[in-house]
Chain A
């Protein structure tokens, strides 16, 4: 479907994944993934959920890339790379090949102009790393916060870039599609990535930006239990003030976001999100102060501002923060004339 010139080829593999990144991507732009990608001349060489080729037909495509007969513009990997048990990689054998998926990835990655980690599992290890990390899961180029991963910290794809980490669990379809589309434009340099390899177009925002609960946040009028309309930060575990992502600037599935739907941001775009110090849905506190403060905010200022804003909370805001619908509407007053 390229409008002109050569197609930008993508090979998509699912490592230790739940398939959720693909499911999210399928709803891209409301017209579906293939059509959206086609608008930028992107062609899926093979995708485990979408392509006709199965078995031997699919392996022929993988082999052609691995042997350099087929050019590859971007290798997309969804899911963590599983090293276990005992370093064998046998927790995931690419079916029909007898070889660990890990080995396929390390074989294919050097052939690709770009390598994209799709979702937090491929980027940092993600949910499979939780607990004792029973499968020895890793990201492509990170083990949680530590640079390294399955490809090693010095890995650079043919373009000279490290692995591009489109993190999120699952990422917004726009994040995946727009990053691929940006790569087709040919001007994607290392300055477009943050220190964890995430596209800055997304990661320079916080999930808190544009949160629909902003008035409750300002006054620290906090939800106490699920379905309350109040701010989710103080009690219910919300990490949106620390989580990179434009989650509340764009919409999810047309209308939503985590905080809009009344539940905590779990900071799913960050390494280690899978292993918080306490329960996901409770805010960890020390001496009544949340341990996770808004990024870049000194603790003393947060404490002082929180105390001040609590003392200034309008009755309307306080009442509505503990209800699942608006009990008290804003006051109706004609504007004052100068």
Chain B
């Protein structure tokens, strides 16, 4: 069938966090154009206005139930900059552990619950790996989902100990954390991490975390995949599937990758295929509203406003279009690992000049393998008896400050304007605001809109599986996107 053109609207697009609709123009069995719609608006930037600044620590996390801690950290960092206040060493370690726990749990949830179940779809029944994929990855019933959800629940005991609960904790404050750790809790933290390491090393990787983190080239990765039977570990099974389906050629992103750096472990910067890594300059960030159901001009988030207009002509999403120096950029674990210079991550983007379904998923699991050993070190560095939190100054906060953090899905920024202790402006640009933005005033599509072009969609297929792989490879969080 050639020469046919059709319009396909995909929704409700599930196994993503929040609400998503994708409209595709399909020509000759390939996506020619994509429009990504965020169909839910809740008004957090309006709700925050005029509240006491410290209320952001209660309100902002509730933007998102899966990136709740990341929202806390961004708010706390913006306030800490204004104060200014600096957390003591214990406070930084505990906050890093809480954030890393969320990031790691999210990576695991994404792979197991959101992304991999698509390989268990009946459309793949003829593939040699199908039986293994069905057994391991099937939604609800797959062995991986059952084993890893249990491991995830027990890993989240880190949150119980350090943050009281997850999601929606108030433990993260500008001056540190509200909970001191005593020697017995330090031991319990190490036990929780040891148990989580075991479950990852048994089920997900079938190898030591350090061995996975040390894979430094595509050849090494391929050799590692070949070294054992394809179903020895879910990561290996994925690599076999990815090779069979050519996932390294699917879902090419815009090429520019951005990271604000994280934990002092992953460096910040902006990577382009030909320019390498350049410094990240947040002052060059603008939000373009041309195709968003929002009134207003393109502005820096410090001057940004949020005035919804559901009837605006030409608009098709509640999502604004953030641009860095005019460019659509991709954020997430792949961006973090590429910017940081991990050789495998760099190799994954070198061949194709940017992100792909395979690169995004491998980078996420690679990051998971790097995070857990770091968390073990941070726990050991905690010194019970020394302070965990510094008090904020008594004077009301005044001025403007940016709080940046790397959420699991990428760079999250809170642009805070405080006037005499009250919130005068609060603009949030979340990871998926970057990745799933609509077109801007120059007609440049957002990263996902670019990545979907060329994706196969067979005639008559209302849920083309390749489109689902591309969309989910970004690990979208739509509730953060629009907030």
Contact = CB atoms under 8 A, between A and B. Distances in A.
A52 B68 contact: no
**For A259, A260, A324, which residue has the most chain B Cβ atoms within 10 angstroms?**
A324
A134 B113 CA distance: 33
B59 A127 contact: yes
B21 A96 contact: yes
Contacts of A255: 157, 160-161, 188
B165 A252 contact: yes
Nearest to A229: B180
Given A127-B59, A263-B170, A324-B388, A252 B164 contact: yes
Interface in A13-58: 14, 16-24, 26-35, 44, 46-58
B479 A19 contact: yes
Given A50-B113, A52-B138, A279-B52, A58 B12 contact: yes
Interface stretch (A86-94, A144-152, A192-200, A288-296): A86-94
Contacts of A226: 173, 175-178, 389, 391
B140 interface: yes
Contact of B139 (A51, A94, A170, A227): A51
Nearest to A88: B310
Contacts of A32: 145-146, 149-150, 152-153
B178 A262 contact: yes
Contact of B140 (A44, A80, A268, A325): A44
Interface stretch (B40-48, B224-232, B281-289, B440-448): B40-48
A49 B164 contact: no
A91 B42 contact: yes
A259 B171 CA distance: 10
A214 interface: no
Interface in B48-101: 48-52, 54-55, 57-59, 62-66, 68
Contacts of A46: 14
A92 B164 CA distance: 32
A95 B482 CA distance: 15
Contacts of A329: none
A11 to B, nearest CB: 12
A13 to B, nearest CB: 9
A263 B19 CA distance: 32
B150 A260 contact: no
Contacts of A106: none
Given A49-B15, A94-B12, A278 B154 contact: no
A266 to B, nearest CB: 6
Contacts of A29: 153
B109 interface: yes
Contacts of A21: 65
Given A27-B156, A55-B11, A93 B39 contact: yes
A20 B167 contact: yes
Interface in A251-274: 251-264, 266, 268, 274
Interface of B: 9-15, 17-21, 37, 39-43, 46-52, 54-55, 57-59, 62-66, 68, 109, 113-114, 117-118, 120-121, 138-141, 145-146, 149-150, 152-154, 156-171, 173, 175-180, 182, 188, 308, 310, 384-385, 387-389, 391, 462-463, 468, 479
Contact of B14 (A48, A91, A262): A48
B396 to A, nearest CB: 11
A117 interface: no
B14 A49 contact: yes
A259 B138 CA distance: 39
27 contacts: A18-B62, A18-B63, A23-B66, A24-B166, A29-B153, A49-B114, A52-B139, A58-B12, A91-B310, A92-B40, A94-B12, A95-B20, A97-B11, A127-B59, A128-B42, A128-B43, A226-B175, A226-B178, A253-B157, A253-B160, A261-B164, A262-B177, A266-B58, A278-B52, A280-B170, A281-B54, A325-B385
Given A54-B13, A58-B14, A90-B310, A31 B153 contact: yes
B175 to A, nearest CB: 7
A17 B40 CA distance: 9
A191 interface: no
A104 B454 CA distance: 34
Contacts of B153: 26-32
Nearest to B139: A52
Interface string A170-185: 1000000000000000
A278 B162 CA distance: 27
A332 to B, nearest CB: 19
Contact of A18 (B10, B37, B65, B162): B65
Does more than half of chain A's interface fall in helix, strand or loop, or is it mixed?
loop
B40 A16 contact: yes
A59 interface: yes
A95 B39 contact: yes
Contacts of B182: 325-326
Contacts of A274: 59
B171 A262 contact: yes
4 tightest Cβ-Cβ pairs between the two chains A and B: A20-B65, A261-B164, A96-B11, A95-B11
Given A227-B179, A257-B164, A26 B152 contact: yes
B47 A131 contact: yes
A240 interface: no
Contacts of A222: none
A221 B320 CA distance: 48
A158 B386 CA distance: 58
Contacts of A17: 65, 479
**For A225, A261, A266, which residue has the most chain B Cβ atoms within 10 angstroms?**
A261
A126 to B, nearest CB: 8
B41 A91 contact: yes
A24 B149 contact: no
A280 B301 CA distance: 26
A263 B11 contact: no
Contacts of B161: 254-256
A24 B167 contact: yes
Given A95-B21, A254-B160, A261-B164, A34 B140 contact: yes
A326 to B, nearest CB: 8
A114 B360 CA distance: 41
A12 B139 CA distance: 15
A279 B56 CA distance: 10
B389 A227 contact: yes
Contacts of A91: 40-43, 308, 310
Interface in A271-327: 274, 278-282, 324-326
Contacts of A44: 140
Contacts of A97: 11-12
Contact of A325 (B9, B42, B384, B468): B384
B58 A20 contact: no
A227 B463 contact: no
A256 B167 CA distance: 12
